[in-house]
Structure 1
Amino acid sequence: MNSPADRYDRLTRTFHWLTAALVIFMFASAHIWENLEKGTPLRKGLQSVHISLGIAMAVLIAARILWRLFGGNHPKADNHPALNLAAKIAHGCLYLLLLTQVTLGFLFRWAQGEPFNF
C-alpha cells in the first residue's frame, strides 16, 4: 500500500480534476456552438458560459502553479532519473499549453472589443 508521501495531496488532485473537467467542457462547448446558428440564445449562452469558465480556468491555473511551487507534496517515482526528468518536462509543457490557451482566449476576446463578463 502507498504511504501518503507516495501520493499527491487532496488539493493537488482536486486541482487536477477541476482542470480536466473545465478543459473538456470548454472544448466541447466551443465545438457545439460552432454548429449553432449565429445569434441564437443557446449559442450566446454557450459562449457566455465558455468565457466565464475561461476566467475561472485562469484563476485555477494560477492557484495550481502557486500550490505547486509553495505547497503540496510531489511524490517521486522509483524510475530511472531520465524518466523522472521526462515526466517533469511533460508536466511543464502541459502547464505551458494551459497558460497559452487561456492567454489566447483573453487576447481573442480583447481583440473583439468585447467585455469579460463572469
Structure 2
Amino acid sequence: MPIDSPAPRLRNVDRWGAVSQLFHWLIVVGILAMAIIGLTMVEMPSSPDKVRMFALHKSIGLTILALVTLRLLWRLYAGTPPAIPTVPRWQHRIANVSHIGLYVLLFAMPISGWVMNSASGFPLWWFGLFRVPALVGRDRDLHELTETVHETLFWLLILLVLVHAGAAFYHHLFQRDATLARMLPRGWLPAPSADEDVRHG
C-alpha cells in the first residue's frame, strides 16, 4: 500500500485521526527535548550531571526511534486524509517529499547516535531500565565519523522541521486551509473545512 493511500475502513474525511495526532505531537515534543538537551550538554563541563544528560539524550533518542517506527506502521495501516482540493498539486508534491525527508532523518538521527555510542564502547541504557544491545563493536574511527554524521543530521532535521512548521502556519494564516487544523483535535483551531471527521484511529 502506498504511504499516502488511506485504508478504506479508516478513511478520514478532513483530518488525521487521534492515533496519528498523538504520534505526531509526541515526536514533536521529543525533537524539542532532544534539541534543548543536545545543545546544552555539549557545553557542560565534565561532571556526573553531564553524564546524566547524555544518558537522557540517548534514551529520548531511542524513544523517538520507536515512536517514528510505530507512526510509520500506523500510517501504512490507517492511511492519510485525502488531499485538500484548494492546495495546488505542486505543493502536495513538495509536502510529500518533505514528509519522506522527515521520516528518513527521524530514523537516521537516532540510529547514527546508536552506532556512535556502540562504537565508543560505552553501554547504552534506556532510562536505566534495560540495556540496549550494541550495533557495532568498539571502533574509534567509526565513532568519530558517526559523531560528525549525527551532528550534520541534527541540523538538517532542525532545518526541515522549521520548513515543515512554517509551511503549516503559512497554509493556515495565508491560504486559509485546514493543513494545520486537521493535525489538531477538533475544535482546537478553527478551519475553513466543515466536513465531519469519521476516522476513529
Q: TM-score, normalised by structure 1?
A: 0.89
Distance 1:100 1:75 in 2: 28
Aligned-residue identity in percent: 25
Corresponding position of 2:133? none
Amino acid at match of 2:66: V
Distance 1:87 1:20 in 2: 17
Amino acid at match of 2:76: L
Paired residue total: 114
Higher helix share: 1
Distance 1:73 1:89 in 2: 15
Q: Which has the higher contact order (CA 8 A, sep 6+)?
A: 1
Query: Shift of residue 74 of structure 1?
Result: 2.4
- For 1:70, which of 77, 88, 97 is the aligned residue? 77
Corresponding position of 1:89? 97
SS at match of 1:117: strand
The answer to whether 1:48 aligns with 2:55 is: yes
RMSD (Å) for aligned C-alpha atoms: 1.4
Amino acid at match of 1:114: F
Structure 1: where are the runs of 5+ without partners?
A: none
Deviations 1:4-29 (A, max 9, x none): 62111111111111111111111111
- For 1:9, which of 8, 14, 17 is the aligned residue? 17
Query: Shift of residue 44 of structure 1?
Result: 1.0
Distance 2:108 2:60 in 1: 15
- For 1:23, which of 17, 28, 31 is the aligned residue? 31
Distance 2:102 2:68 in 1: 11
Distance 1:19 1:71 in 2: 18
